[in-house]
Amino acid sequence: MQYLSDKMSSSDPQHIKLCLLEAITEEFSEKMKIGTGGYGEVYKGELNGDEIAVKKLFPVQAVNDESFDNEFRNLKKVRHKNVLRMIGYCYEISHRDVEYKGQLVWSQVINRALCFEYMKGGSLAKHISADSCIHNWPETYNIIKGTCEGLHHLHKGEDKKIFHLDLKPDNVLLDDKLVPKIGDFGLSRLFGSSYTHQISTMKGTIGFMPQEYIHNRKVSPKNDVFSLGVIIFHMMAGANGYGDYWDARRRPNFSPKIQQEFMESIQIYWRKKMQATEDYRWDETDLLGVTKCVDMAMRCVEDDRDKRPSTEEIISEIKELDSKIDEMLKKDPKPLKVELKKRHKHRTDELEVVNQDRGLNDLGRDIAVDPCLELRFPFEPKKDISCCLQLTNKATASFVAFSINTNINKYHAQPTKGILAPCSKCYITLTLRAQESPESMQCVDVLVVQGIRVSEHFTSNEITQDFLANASTVDEVILPIVYVALNHHPI
């Protein structure tokens, strides 16, 4: 074991004997297998408490020693934080006796294996749901950014450019801190075309490779750029994200408007997802990042490869985006989680004192209403009578849209809708229009208050009944309206 430990400590991949690999993988047992790819099976091995991944390559007759040696020399020199690091290799020839035409003959067996750092987070594919990447937006953006940087490193090549030709979520691995690293790079060119170049999805056979490769086997750096775009779609809009866009692109009525609507649907999804995340403030910087990533994905999957950006252009755009976001955050820094928690606790304590009798008509997670039990009008015939309603946004990092609804023939609310900033209040004036004294002071009217989280840039004009009806979660409270008779006494 000390021999292998010494090899591991070297910065350059070293040759590792087959017998040692067999020892740490328990003879390449099923128990130690962690995956199967287009070029071999992957096993987990343990060395002095450190885990490594051992890919035992399938025996492929078409690959001769010279081809393997040339390609391997390229792969072993790759060093980048977003590219899986090769730490060792095995190349051994043995002979086995087999029966051939009734006689025993010696058959040559070539054992090839590549050893890599073990990635505890597994493949990116395990981190993508039907809707999007399962992580929050900052983590998702960092995964996208890191994958772009890793691919650019392969494409620019210090000694020789490397095209991946099999880029997909299964071949992007994550460590325990969600840092992405591209794996299986370069093996496609060595082993030729593979069935893994196409993936079946719910929308049909939509692959991670462009049409020029699928139909004509044309190879260029833009093949990988196309694959990168599909991966970003999966992270932004789920496993069916690219399939939906593919369908839209091939409709006769496809237009920039449809493309913009697709963009907006993804923006809305991420806004709602992050607004529902505790202790996070969704703002314009996040919206800018989501917009740039979707736009980038759309350009990466253009049918005309000349219209796709190069990885150099992609990295330049990411740097420009980061710079712009940094400038925006200097003017309006995001509060730290601990600050948001303190602010939330302080606000909660305050609300508990001020609104301790709110009872059942607290709107729940965001809005509190005062008065909380009923609205009382001191009734006088033929006079407009007003009362006041206070709305409080309890959320420390979310904007809330509200809507006031009642019988407009008898009551007038001002305002009827609006936006509440985090930890803010507003006052609603409700006016009972002048009317004759009713036969009975009993009133069956009610006032309905609705609230829903929205983005910072959401406007009051967007608060419509259709919007509220189609929203997934709307907080609602119903306040009874009560008339109270006034007793006049002469002075």
Q: What is the pLDDT of residue 477?
A: 81
Domain boundaries, the chain: 1-118, 122-334, 355-485
The pLDDT tens digits for 244-257 are: 888 888 888 888 88
69-73, 267-271, 316-320, 342-346 — which is least confidently predicted? 342-346
H or E stretch covering 41: strand 40-47
56-65, 270-279, 394-403 — which is least confidently predicted? 56-65
Q: State the Cα–Cα distance between residues 157 and 310, nearest whole angstrom.
A: 14
pLDDT at 347 over 50: no
Most confident of 44-53, 58-67, 425-434: 425-434
pLDDT at 223 over 80: yes
- Choice between 16 and 49, residue whose per-residue pLDDT is larger: 16
Closest by CA to 184, choosing from 67, 57, 312, is 57
The pLDDT tens digits for 192-205 are: 444 333 333 333 33
Length of the chain: 491
Q: State the Cα–Cα distance between residues 160 and 173, nearest whole angstrom.
A: 23
Q: What is the pLDDT of residue 313?
A: 96
Q: What is the pLDDT of residue 153?
A: 93
Q: State the Cα–Cα distance between residues 235 and 239, nearest whole angstrom.
A: 8
Q: What is the pLDDT of residue 187?
A: 58
Superfamily of 355-485 according to CATH: Immunoglobulins (2.60.40.10)
Across the range 160-175, mean pLDDT stands at 88
Using the structure block, give the residue that is written with the tokens 């590219």. Answer: 83
Closest by CA to 398, choosing from 317, 342, 455, 460, is 455
Across the range 352-359, mean pLDDT stands at 40
pLDDT at 464 over 60: yes
Q: What is the pLDDT of residue 358?
A: 37
CATH architecture of residue range(s) 122-334: Orthogonal Bundle (1.10)
Q: State the Cα–Cα distance between residues 423 and 396, nearest whole angstrom.
A: 6
Q: What is the pLDDT of residue 330?
A: 87
pLDDT at 394 over 60: yes
Q: Is 394 annotated as a binding residue?
A: no
The share of the chain scoring above pLDDT 70, in percent, equals 81
Across the range 436-465, mean pLDDT stands at 81
The pLDDT tens digits for 62-119 are: 555 665 665 677 677 788 999 998 888 888 887 777 777 777 777 777 888 888 889 9
The share of the chain scoring above pLDDT 90, in percent, equals 27
The pLDDT tens digits for 151-165 are: 999 998 777 788 888
pLDDT at 243 over 80: yes
Q: What is the pLDDT of residue 101?
A: 74
CATH C-level class of 1-118: alpha beta
Tally the C-alpha atoms within 13 A of residue 70's C-alpha that lie toward its C-beta.
Answer: 10
Axis-axis angle for helices 137-156, 256-275 (nearest 10): 130
Q: State the Cα–Cα distance between residues 228 and 318, nearest whole angstrom.
A: 14
Average pLDDT for the chain: 80
CA dihedral 351, 356, 360, 366 (to 10 degrees): 0
The pLDDT tens digits for 276-335 are: 777 788 888 999 999 999 999 999 999 898 999 999 999 999 999 999 999 988 888 876
Q: What is the pLDDT of residue 362?
A: 45
Which residue intervals of 30-90 are DSSP H helices?
65-75
Q: What is the pLDDT of residue 4?
A: 45
The burial of 175, by beta-carbon neighbours within 10 Å (0-12 exposed, 13-18 middle, 19 or more buried), is given as: middle
128-132, 275-279, 308-312, 377-381 — which is least confidently predicted? 275-279
Please report, for the chain, how many H helices and E strands are present, in that order. 13, 20
Closest by CA to 162, choosing from 145, 144, 187, is 187
Q: What is the pLDDT of residue 220?
A: 82
- Choice between 448 and 198, residue whose per-residue pLDDT is larger: 448
pTM of the model: 0.64
- Choice between 380 and 125, residue whose per-residue pLDDT is larger: 125
Q: What is the pLDDT of residue 89?
A: 86
H or E stretch covering 149: helix 137-156
Q: What is the pLDDT of residue 339?
A: 53
H or E stretch covering 111: strand 103-117
